């Protein structure tokens, strides 16, 4: 049956009203699932089927950054994306795969298969309610295996479509960073100084003593003529002590920081630039995806 102009106008008005209600309710700020009521979620699903799931970790980040650094960076960045797109954020886990950091107390770790199962079962519930477009914003390299597996399972086993939009994902074009500024160094410290300065203990920040194994040193030298060998070099890092690769955090670094520079050089302005670069790319992708029919 044809849709009359008056009925079409009324439908459009209702969609605009619902979207406007949610935006007013959030004050133009982010929408976080745990801060919404069930009626908020019901109304949200009338106009959107999108959700962002941040993934981080609880692990040592040197003597000057909080254990939750990666969680905060994932969650806070996802909230900035939400504030600009109106897409709800649903944090599910606060730990990730971080076994190779466990030489420093406080680190928590989930097996990749455990993390994958928790994420998958939770997404199944979201799909039950009507969420169909799932975006993972990951900010912890140790989660990549679980993220890749759960995205595959969601796409193959549910009505939803899932994609990675976080750091290192297919839509993020990151600028070239300083060599081996990988963990709790200048870049991450700058980001925490921008997002959560109250949690940074900059009086404790210090340049680490880095211990590359002879194999790592040899590969670095050989990679000067054969750059492809850097793929082998990087595979030695973030590995548990039991592998005997020398890639566990306490084996590599005197204080847990993976950086050749001094974290004291960090600046909130640097963190702001990095974060908003990621947000801009994610927002551009989401707005483009919104144009597709549900």
Q: Is residue 145 part of a domain?
A: yes
3-state secondary structure of 89: strand
Which has more confidence, 178 or 65? 65
- Calculate what percentage of the chain has a pLDDT beyond 70: 90
Angle between helices 144-157 and 112-129 (to 10 degrees): 40
What would the two tokens of residue 276 be? 């908003």
Residues 6+ apart with CB under 8 A from 24: none
Q: Is residue 135 part of a domain?
A: yes
Count of structural domains, the chain: 1
Q: Is residue 244 part of a domain?
A: no
Cα 107 from Cα 59, distance rounded (Å): 4
In the predicted structure, residue 294 carries a pLDDT above the cut 80: no
* Domain housing 121: 26-178+275-290
Q: Is residue 91 part of a domain?
A: yes
What pLDDT, on a 0 to 100 scale, did the predictor assign at position 174?
Answer: 76
Say which CATH number the domain at 48 has. Answer: 3.40.50.10310
Whether residue 64 contacts residue 204, with contact meaning beta carbons closer than 8 Å, is answered with: yes
Q: Is residue 163 part of a domain?
A: yes
Q: Is residue 101 part of a domain?
A: yes
3-state secondary structure of 50: strand
Q: Is residue 74 part of a domain?
A: yes
Cα 78 from Cα 32, distance rounded (Å): 10
What pLDDT, on a 0 to 100 scale, did the predictor assign at position 17?
Answer: 40
Q: Report the residue count for the chain.
A: 294
pTM (two decimals): 0.90
Q: Distance between the two ends of the chain, CA-based, in angstroms? A: 21
Q: Is residue 264 part of a domain?
A: no
Q: Which helix (H) or strand (E) holds 117?
A: helix 112-129
3-55, pLDDT tens digit by residue? 344 443 444 334 434 444 444 344 569 999 999 999 999 999 999 999 999 99
């Amino acid at each position: 049956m044809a849709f009359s102009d008056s009925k079409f106008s009324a439908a459009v008005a209702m969609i605009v009203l619902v979207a406007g209600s949610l935006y007013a309710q959030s004050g133009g700020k982010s929408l976080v699932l745990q801060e919404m009521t069930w009626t908020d979620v019901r109304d949200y699903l009338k106009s959107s089927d999108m959700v962002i799931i941040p993934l981080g970790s609880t692990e040592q980040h040197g003597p000057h950054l909080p254990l939750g650094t990666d969680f905060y960076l994932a969650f806070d960045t996802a909230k900035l994306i939400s504030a600009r797109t109106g897409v709800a954020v649903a944090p599910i886990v606060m730990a990730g795969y971080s076994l190779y950091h466990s030489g420093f107390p406080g680190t928590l770790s989930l097996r990749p298969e455990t993390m994958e199962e928790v994420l998958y079962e939770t997404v199944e519930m979201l799909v039950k309610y009507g969420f169909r477009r799932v975006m993972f914003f990951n900010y912890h390299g140790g989660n990549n295996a679980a993220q890749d597996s759960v995205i595959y399972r969601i796409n193959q086993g549910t009505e939803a479509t899932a994609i990675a939009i976080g750091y290192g994902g297919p839509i993020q074009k990151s600028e070239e960073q300083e060599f081996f500024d990988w963990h709790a160094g200048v870049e991450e410290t700058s980001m925490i100084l921008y997002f959560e300065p109250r949690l940074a203990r900059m009086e404790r920040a210090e340049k680490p003593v880095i211990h590359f194994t002879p194999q790592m040193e040899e590969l670095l030298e050989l990679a000067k003529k054969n750059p492809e060998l850097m793929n082998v070099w990087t595979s030695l890092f973030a590995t548990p002590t039991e592998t005997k690769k020398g890639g566990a955090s306490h084996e590599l670094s005197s204080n847990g920081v993976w950086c050749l520079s001094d974290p004291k050089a960090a600046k909130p302005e640097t963190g702001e630039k990095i974060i908003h670069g990621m947000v801009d790319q994610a927002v551009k992708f989401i707005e483009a995806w919104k144009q597709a029919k549900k």
